[in-house]
Structure 1
Amino acid sequence: MGGGPAVAQPSEGFLHLITETRPWYKNSRLIILNLWVCLLLITSSTNGYDGSMMNGLQSVKEWEKAFNYPTGGKLGLLNAIQNIGSLAAYPFSPYLTDGLGRRPAICFGAFIMIGATILQTASNTVGMFIGARFLIGFGLTFAAAAAPLLVTEIAYPTHRAQATSMYNTLWYLGSIIAAWTTFGTFRIPSSWAWRIPSALQALPSVIQVFLIWFVPESPRSLVSKGREEQALKTLAYYHARGNENDPLVQYEFEEIKAAIKFDKEVAANVGWVSLFKSPGNRRRMRIIIALAFFSQWSGNGLVSYYLNKVMNAIGITDSDTQLLINGLLNIFNFIVAIIAGFLCDKIGRRRLFMTSTIGMLIFWTLQTVCFSLYSQHQDIKAGHTVIAMIFLYYGFYDLAFTPLIVSYTVEILPFSLRAKGFTVFNFAISLSLIFNQYVNPIALNALGWKYYLVYVAWLAFETVFCYFFIVETKNRSLEETAALFDGDDTVAMIAGKAAEQAGITHAPVTDKSSTASDEKIDSHHIH
């Protein structure tokens, strides 16, 4: 890890081409576009709902009784099976997403999840419940692989970073609904105490099946299939009130064409091997895979799926209190993540990642100390302080690892590799989740507070990694950001071609100072 940190200077990019001076909420086309973006964002809510529901159901006596009080490996399987279903779909999802388009992939996944949720709600055996959860994960992969790509490819340029950051943030919306649903139904003296939360899991998918066909298809996907006229009309309709000659629309259109043409020229084979062929792509995948594992291996898996086990370990055993803390924590997470997502272009990705990892390390360490004091000395105050440390730890986690991991992943990938690269990201997340869901309950039972020390060391490693490898990407167009990893010459080439074709006299260029910085990074960190 020689050399300095991976920093690149921002570019002015497309900003000087924007002629729209009114706020977005006074532009009816942008209001409609942002509503379609919201429809896509709720895909993440389905995933968040699932994790929080399974967390909450462990405090619901009717669910425990129905499935014979699962513990250890059996409980781990009930949680992990959804991600095993996701793994089974990964070999197919990028081909559907690239081949048929983003919208058909989302609809296909939503249909599967609706059927699987019906099966889950009707379950009367452990095997039936496990099978249903496998299918939920299988369907979710198709929708979750396509939805954030479509968000980042249709969003208005100045809204793109915030909109894509909201994708993973909406995980907490589903989590909040599930947490408070289980809090409200756990008193029902029948199986409906857990069947009602299970049935509600299908709601986002039902909404998407009916409305997805009104959402515009990705202009980048349309250009890649030779449907350039339709792509131009889509950009013009939503980004310039129908004016195809608008400077911003022309620049976006020509930049998309130049980038896709460049991808085809330098990488005619865009198969899976292409993800690791060039130094730039290896650098991308190193960051993407690391962030995927960091997002699940930072200690959050203990609280996300086994909060009741943590609560029991520090003396908080009342179901009412456990479910109340779960509900309040999800609301807190949602608020912090939304604020961080909206600030990502002002503060910058790198600064958010560094603040997040340092803060997590500090408050996880303090949480570990408090947990050990309770475990060894039955210090009630220390046990209650663990709850405060959990909230503070999550506050820093939510600065970067909720809003940015999806948006940062899709923006640093070129269009030709975006679906496949994002699939690798999701695959890595599923692997890390399966490990967490199996290992955490077993390790926590066996080691108690000492298990927390493992995450202290890991968080220290995360902090060092982010310092050396996270590259700043704020204030760049999608094509400029993806090209950043291949060197500023590529950025300038694509921007220059786009500006030339669009008839713009002053092409947006990157600062020359970033070239030297990137060359330094390449020499020290890629080889």
Structure 2
Amino acid sequence: MLRKTPTGTWIPAWVPESTATVSILLLVCSMVQSATGGYDGSMLNGLNILPAYTNYFHLDNPAFTGLNTASVFIGGFFGPIGAGVMTDRLGRRPAIFWGSVVTLLGILLQTAAQNIAMFVIARIILGWGSAISSVAGGVYLSETFASRYRAWGVGILNNFYYVGSLIAAGVTLGTGQWQSTWAWRLPSLLQGVFSFACILVLPFIPESPRWLVSKERYEDARLSVAQTNADGDITNPIVVAVYKEIVDTLEWEKKNDMTMSPREIIKSPTARKRTLIGASVGPFSCIAGNVIASYYLGNELDTAGITDPNQQLKANVVLNVWCLFCAFGGTHLAAVWGRKPTALLSQGLLIVCMFIIGGLTKIYQDNPDGASKSLVYGDVAVMFLFQGIYSIAWTPLLFLYPPEIMNYPIRANGLALSGFALNGLALLLTFVMPIALTNITWKTYIINGSWDIITFFLIYIYWVETKGKTLEEIDAIFEGEKHSSVPDIEDIRTGRKTVDVTQIELELHEDVGLKEHEA
């Protein structure tokens, strides 16, 4: 049964009374956004192998190929600049809506592209819209999911990248034998399905309770907490405690002159520390080395001796299935083991794989005619292993970890900064990687592996653990104290501690006055 729910925005909501159903809808919102990015990467991977695409756009040198592929990151580079402010001012759901609309516009233009210029402009618009949706979606889902579901709910925001990738790999494999331009136009058009599905889900999920409290819509926020924690029961002890924790923390931030300005991310030493740690995830995930296989699998397989386009397309399908399973395994590790240990495990293994790939590629290129099949397949196997290991940590943590580290005043703008840095580096790397693979071949992997070592030690020294805590409880790690008197939510949920609901109700009444508690 649906319940009409105030949202404080122009987008109405009719939210199911069942928390399980709400959680599923939130997951769908998360999945379809993630799938858009994954579909794009895999689609371009497939298109860069298709003669119908490369011949149509005359992609006869690495620079043109890099520009066509990397142009989505030009939009992704500029999109986050205003995404944080938009998300804070308009609301989380409206920002997701407008990001999805812009993405759809870019997809339609890309499908209709008549030349390289039109294709590049379309992909810039697509990247711009996707960046807005990613920032708003990451903030929204982290603030809306119950803390016990957050690792899975927000981790899936990027895990389904590989579902989109798998669908695109299958589509490009199916259209790969077509001789018309629809060999690449149809895969492009189908990319819009995910953004459209996201728009359809928005009217059936509540607005972020943190955003509602910040707008002094207290009862609406409390209902949102109840809908995502206790089947809409606003008197449930968990609901009352979570709501009180949010109100107390945002009131403390307001009293300490914390604002929603982008300057807040550098205003204090604590803010700068939280911003640097949270925003590091985007750049770290980008420079790990996955850009090569994500967009230039064909070039990578060429260096290993597998040059048949049909075999490369099939390898693309298998790779995405493998990475999807690894991403889910990594999400489980992040949930039960912790974010930092999962990142260190994955990063350490990536370093080993990167140097092995570089070494095997060098051996093959020194004597390609005399290279054994075991060498070729061994190189490809390690490439696949690398992508799977990458997916264990960086796929779920990309949108899970930053909003956990950043508190409410800097969350949207901090996540936008992470996206800005990620897309800036991705723009650079996707442009130069085909050039590097062509000119310095195996040395590309050695260079990448070297800076991965630096990343490992930065994670080990500076990252903190956030497992099992609500967003408000993470404040104690950085500021030495929690800004609410209620016990930690996980302690209440597991029965280790209890709360006096009547006493908390009295405190809430004093905190927010008679604004919305008279009812």
Q: TM-score range by the shorter chain?
A: 0.7 to 0.9
CA shift for structure 1 position 355: 0.6
Distance apart, 1:200 and its partner CA: 0.4
Residue 383 of structure 2, aligned match among 383, 386, 390: 390
Out of 212, 219, 224, the position equivalent to 2:209 is 219
Kindly state the Cα deviation for residue 373 of structure 1 after the two structures are TM-superposed.
Answer: 0.7
The 1-side partners of 2:41 and 2:110 are apart by 15
Structure 2 counterpart of 1:486, one-letter code: F
User: Which secondary structure does the structure 2 equivalent of 1:150 belong to?
Assistant: helix
Match of 2:461 among 465, 468, 473: 468
Contact 1:176/1:330 (<8 A) preserved: yes
User: In the alignment, is the contact (CA less than 8 A) between 2:27 and 2:156 conserved in 1?
Assistant: no
**Alpha-carbon distance in structure 1 between the residues aligned to 2:232 and 2:358:** 57
Q: Secondary structure at the match of 1:158?
A: coil
The DSSP-based 3-state class of the residue aligned with 1:90 is helix
Tell whether the 8 Å contact from 2:223 to 2:234 is kept in structure 1 after alignment.
yes
Does residue 1:115 correspond to 2:113, yes or no? no
Cα distance in structure 2, aligned partners of 1:28 and 1:290: 37
Residue 480 of structure 1 aligns to a residue in which SS? coil
After TM superposition, list the pairs within 5 Å mapping 1:95-244 onto structure 2. Answer: 95-244=85-234
- RMSD between superposed Cα atoms in Å: 2.0
Asked if 1:314 is matched to 2:307, the reply is no
Query: Is the deviation greater in 218-227 or in 337-346?
Result: 337-346
* 8 A contact 1:44–1:167 mirrored in 2: yes
Structure 1 residue 431 displacement after superposition = 0.8
Residue aligned with 2:469, SS:
coil
Instruction: Specify the SS of the correspondent of 1:479.
Output: coil
Q: Cα offset for 1:495?
A: 4.5
Give 1:49-60 correspondences, 5 Å limit. Answer: 49-60=39-50
Identity %: 31
1:13 is aligned to none
CA contact (8 A) 2:141 2:154 kept: yes
Q: C-alpha offsets along residues 151-183 of structure 1, whole Å, 9 cap, x if unaligned?
A: 112212211121111111111111111111101
Q: Which amino acid aligns with 2:405?
A: I
What's the counterpart of residue 21 of structure 1?
none
Residue type of the alignment partner of 2:453: A
CA distance in 2, matches of 1:436, 1:351: 27
Secondary structure of residue in 1 paired with 2:211: helix
- In structure 2, do the counterparts of structure 1 residues 148 and 41 end up closer, same or farther at CA, with 3 Å as the change threshold? farther
1:267-313: per-residue Cα shift (whole Å, max 9, x none)? Answer: 33442222123222222222233321111111111111111111112
Residue type at the aligned position of 2:340: R
Q: Secondary structure at the match of 2:189?
A: helix
Deviations 1:91-118 (A, max 9, x none): 3212221111111111111112222211
Residue pair 2:81, 2:420 contacting (<8 A) in 1 also: no
Whether the 8 Å contact between 1:293 and 1:429 is mirrored in structure 2 is yes
The residue number in structure 2 matching 1:273 is 263
Could you tell me which residue of structure 2 aligns to residue 442 of structure 1? Answer: 435
Alignment-derived partner of residue 471 in structure 2: 478
Cα distance 1:497–1:126, how it changes in 2: closer, same or farther (>3 A)?
closer
Quote how far apart the aligned CAs of 1:264 are. Answer: 1.4
Contact 2:159-2:396 within 8 A present in 1 as well: yes
1:419 to 412, 416, 421: 412
Hey, what's the Cα distance between the residues in 1 that align with 2:412 and 2:501? 27
Cα 1:445/1:484, change in 2 over 3 Å? farther
Aligned equivalents of 2:405, 2:466: Cα separation in 1: 8
Give the Å deviation of 1:135.
0.9
222 and 70 in structure 1: CA distance in 2 versus 1, 3 angstrom threshold: farther
Structure 1 distance, partners of 2:69, 2:188, is 14
Q: Spell out structure 1 runs of 4+ moving beyond 4 A.
A: 492-502
Deviation readout 1:477-522 (Å, 9 max, x if unpaired):
11112x1443332x265646997887369xxxxxxxxxxxxxxxxx
Contact 1:77–1:438 (8 Å) recurs in 2: yes
Q: Which runs of 5+ in 1 are unaligned?
A: 1-26, 506-527
**Structure 2: how far apart are the matches of 1:126 and 1:414?**
42
Pick from 481, 487, 492: which aligns with 2:479? 487
Distance 2:488 2:69 in 1: 50
Contact 1:121 1:198 in 2 (8 A): yes
Match for 1:344 among 334, 337, 340? 334
Larger RCO: 1 or 2 (CA < 8 Å, sep 6+): 1
Distance in 2, Cα, partners of 1:322 & 1:120: 24
Aligned to 1:72: 62
Aligned-pair CA distance for 1:148: 1.8
CA distance in structure 1 between the aligned counterparts of 2:503 and 2:367, rounded to whole angstroms: 74
Within-5 A mapping of 1:30-69: 30-69=20-59
* Equivalent residues of 1:41, 1:148 under 8 A apart: no
Change (3 A) 1:244 1:444: same
Q: 2:364 aligns with which of 374, 377, 392?
A: 374
> Residues of 1 paired with 2:501 and 2:238: CA distance?
12
Residue aligning to 1:94: 84
Contact map agreement 1:250 1:502 (CA 8 A) in 2: no
Quote the residue 1:19 is aligned against.
Answer: none
**Is the Cα contact below 8 Å between 1:254 and 1:497 reproduced in 2?**
no
Matched residue count: 477
Deviation at 1:329, TM superposition (A): 0.5
Q: 1:457 to 1:273 in 2, by over 3 A?
A: same
Q: Deviations over 1:187-221 (max 9, x none)?
A: 01211111110000100111122331221111111
Distance 1:128 1:166 in 2: 33
Q: Deviations over 1:378-402 (max 9, x none)?
A: 2233222111101221222122111
- Residue 189 to residue 130, structure 1, CA distance change in 2 (3 Å): same
Give deviations 1:119-176, integer Å, cap 9, x for gaps: 1111121111111111101111221111122111221221112111111111111111
Supply the distance in 2 between the matched residues of 1:449 and 1:502 (Cα, whole angstroms).
67
